[in-house]
Amino acid sequence: MNAPVMEVEVSLSERSYAVQIGTGLLESNPALLSLVQGRQVAIVTDTHVGPLYEGAVRKLVGAQASALITITLPAGEANKDWAHLNLIFDALLQAQMDRKCVIIALGGGVIGDMAGFAAAVYQRGVDFVQIPTTLLAQVDSSVGGKTAINHPLGKNMIGAFHQPRLVLADVGVLRTLPAREVSAGLAEVIKHGAIVDTDYLQLTEQTMPRLLALDPEALSAIVAGSVRIKAAVVAQDEREAGLRAILNFGHTFGHAIEAGLGYGQWLHGEAVGAGMVFAADLSTRLGLLGADERERLVATIAAAGLPVAGPRWDAARYVELMAVDKKAEQGTPKFVLLDGLGKTRVQRVADTPLHATLQACSTAALN
Amino acid sequence: MNAPVMEVEVSLSERSYAVQIGTGLLESNPALLSLVQGRQVAIVTDTHVGPLYEGAVRKLVGAQASALITITLPAGEANKDWAHLNLIFDALLQAQMDRKCVIIALGGGVIGDMAGFAAAVYQRGVDFVQIPTTLLAQVDSSVGGKTAINHPLGKNMIGAFHQPRLVLADVGVLRTLPAREVSAGLAEVIKHGAIVDTDYLQLTEQTMPRLLALDPEALSAIVAGSVRIKAAVVAQDEREAGLRAILNFGHTFGHAIEAGLGYGQWLHGEAVGAGMVFAADLSTRLGLLGADERERLVATIAAAGLPVAGPRWDAARYVELMAVDKKAEQGTPKFVLLDGLGKTRVQRVADTPLHATLQACSTAALN
């Protein structure tokens, strides 16, 4: 059954763009066709997604583009590095793609980050389109223009703010997504509700079984809700000067987990799921969040199939891993805390509650 | 003798910044000190410039910065690549430089491009200051926010528009500049006059002997004039959507020469000097520029000590080298032509006059 197509506008004056949400978006798409009309197009995808959907995108834009190439990268966060980014530049230059070319990112967050960053710096900036194929990318990374690659010394350390011209979030493509990745996407959905919108959090809780069963209507509603929340935050703070930091709820801890385990061991959303438990625990210790609210959030994270504890490391290891995080300023990280569900505050935290949280929440045994 | 300090504003709304021109700018500088106050600072310089001026900059900002590191790269355009850019990221991350750090580019155009691009993408963008130490960088590359590195398949193919917060053009530092590099800088000075301002072209012609003798007052006047011209063009077209293309006068040919010889064989300004002769010749063949005007321009280029012919290659080689140039759109390059001295037009050109120009102007024997 097809869900109706919804459209959310991300308002950034001359950089504004539409996010389409629904099913069948890759079968015909006037917005995409009008954008690529007469221009060189490069589809950037990976070895997982390419075989599934590259043909559909190629069929869709092939007749309109003046030239069309596909660049297929090896799948996985471990490849979100300069060497693989450079494969994109090599292919663009070999095909003599000019400054008016359009790059289409077809894949999950890693492909969106890499293709988006390539678009940000190729010939000092070309247009790009996001076609996110994971729930995580649809509800989060494809909207807002943050692009980056990893550096051996830190995640997302090299990047740019570069807004897409169009985002196509086709929830139909999620039918091929492994269950683990559906859960990972729900981490950001839960986050959006927790930080700004308890009604949306409630919708997430109520539709959780349908979401896990990949019901297109439930997914469309949830993706549209997340995109609306994220678009509103981004519109107020495109370059993460202030407000946008609240989107990092759970991420300071989550990034530490990802970095400590080695990228790709846990999915980003899994690390964020556990990271939100840390952040909620810390909020409760600081008297900002009721124990009942914390338990409600932890239960929702668990219902989504996500981990609710971090790896069993001592506090010092967590602190060290967080110190290099990009939200850290001169070594002392700020934390996004819940000031009740649906409200946030960003602040530095004393060592005593922090260490108590690190100890209480780092109980997951690793195989 | 100290020349009076002049200040030119580059007007780009919230990205506006001042360019200071004069002598003694590195001895004391309230604008720079107020910018770096309490922030982490990284000086990026090279093996030529570092030993001469890094101490002065370190002394100037050291007391105000919360941390101060120096990153010294090997000098030369051949090193304007990803591997060397990555040395900057390595050092910034090892020193745990945060998103509020300030990068100071201390050097010529290569250092400005690399440090500026590093600043554009480190943690998705940090502030930077240009302290250009070559005439070329002072009159051209330090103003306008174009940053980039080279790719094996093309010059400046990977980069960003990222405006500095402050530019300090101290003409006193030019006393250590080799004569060949002074000439290279004069290429852009001549270009600025040729494309928009015949009064400025005349000032350049009249003060040429004093400029070549590095007279601080003559240099200050000429640098300020060039910065004013460039600032006016950039203010109207920050991201090179249209007008800014006129600054590429001589550059399509010049880049072909640089790429064909291998970067670093001719200085960029030398290639632009010869490139302007090609572009003027082509303008005359198309009936846009009088032969007398062309001769006046060629004479000025020669008086500056610059080459007035390109390497002795056949037309096909030039065409091939130009095809990948970033000003090329889908293979057919547009040319910036002189429509009389002080006026430009940008257009595609038929093969016949182009080949005639390529043949007529490619007479320089190479050793």
Chain B residue numbers touching A158 (CB-CB < 8 A): 89, 121-122
Q: How far A48 CA lies from chain B's nearest CA (Å)?
A: 27
8 Å CB contact of B157 and A120 = no
pLDDT bin (cut points 50, 70, 90) of residue A54 is: very high
Which residues from chain A sit within 8 angstroms of residue B149, using beta carbons? none
Q: How far is CA A92 from the centre of its chain?
A: 25
Please, where are the H alpha helices in A147-305? 179-196, 198-212, 216-236, 251-261, 268-285, 291-303
Q: Which residues of B59-92 are buried (b: 16+ CB within 10 A; e: fewer)?
A: ebbeebbeebbbbbbebebebbbbebbebbbebb
Structure-block tokens of residue B16 = 């506006």
CB pairs under 8 A between A and B: 100
Q: Domain A249-361: which topology?
A: Dehydroquinate synthase-like, alpha domain (1.20.1090)
Tell me the per-residue pLDDT of B72-116, one tens digit each, with 9 for 90 and over: 999 988 899 999 999 999 999 999 999 999 999 999 999 999 999
CB contact under 8 A, A159 and B326: no
pLDDT score at A14: 82
Contacts of A117 in chain B (CB under 8 A): 121
Query: Which residues of chain B lie closer than 8 angstroms to A89, CB-CB?
Result: 151, 157-158
Q: At residue A208, does pLDDT exceed 70?
A: yes
Residue B48 is a catalytic residue = no
Question: Residue B122 is nearest to which of A93, A158, A240, comparing CB atoms?
Answer: A158
- Residue A144 confidence (pLDDT) above 80: yes
Is the CB of A122 less than 8 angstroms away from the CB of B157? Answer: yes
Q: Report the CATH architecture of A6-176.
A: 3-Layer(aba) Sandwich (3.40)
Alpha-carbon distance A144 to nearest alpha carbon in chain B (angstroms): 13
Which residues in chain A touch residue B348, judged by CB atoms under 8 angstroms apart?
none
CB nearest to B158's CB, from A99, A122, A156: A122
Out of B94, B124, B331, the one facing A160 most closely (by C-beta) is B124
Quote the pLDDT of residue B366: 66
Tell me whether residues A157 and B93 touch, CB distance under 8 A. Answer: yes
For CA atoms A8, A10, A11, A14, give the dihedral sign: negative
**Of A111 and A244, more confident:** A111
The alpha carbon of B320 is separated from its chain's Cα centroid by a whole number of angstroms, namely 24
ipTM, interface predicted TM-score of the complex:
0.88
pLDDT at B324 over 70: no
d(C-alpha B99, C-alpha A348), whole Å? 16
Residues of B with CB under 8 A from a CB of A: 40, 66-67, 82, 86, 89-90, 93-94, 96, 98-100, 117, 120-125, 146-148, 151, 153-154, 156-161, 239-240, 323-324, 326, 328-331
A188, two tokens: 């950001």
Structure confidence at residue A296 as a pLDDT band (50, 70, 90): very high
Nearest CA in chain B to A81: B86
The domain segmentation of chain A, as residue ranges, is 6-176, 249-361
Mean pLDDT for the stretch of residues A14-39: 95
Chain A residues within an 8 Å CB radius of B125: 160-161, 239
**Please, which pLDDT band fits residue A168 given cuts at 50, 70 and 90?**
very high
Extract the runs of DSSP E, i.e. beta strands, from chain A: 6-10, 17-22, 40-46, 67-73, 102-107, 127-132, 146-151, 154-161, 166-170, 328-329, 332-333, 335-338, 344-347
- pLDDT of A243 reads 84
Q: Do domains B6-176 and B249-361 have the same CATH topology?
A: no
Q: What is the pLDDT of residues A219-273, one digit of tens each?
A: 999 999 999 999 999 888 888 778 888 999 999 999 899 889 986 789 989 999 9
Cβ of B96 within 8 Å of Cβ of A323? The answer is yes
How far is it, in rounded angstroms, from Cα B235 to Cα B243?
Answer: 10
Of B40, B146, B324, the CB nearest to A124: B146
The pLDDT value recorded for residue B306 is 97
Q: What is the pLDDT of residue B364?
A: 81
Nearest chain A CA: its distance from B224 CA (Å): 27
Rounded to the nearest 10 degrees, how much is the dihedral formed by the CA atoms of A110, A115, A120, A124?
A: 140
Instruction: Quote the tokens at residue A163.
Output: 């807004």
Give the pLDDT of residue A132: 98
pLDDT surpassing 90 at residue B32: yes
Mean pLDDT of chain B: 93
Asked if B98 and A329 come within 8 Å (Cβ–Cβ), the reply is yes
- What's the pLDDT score for residue B2? 59
At A325 the pLDDT is: 59
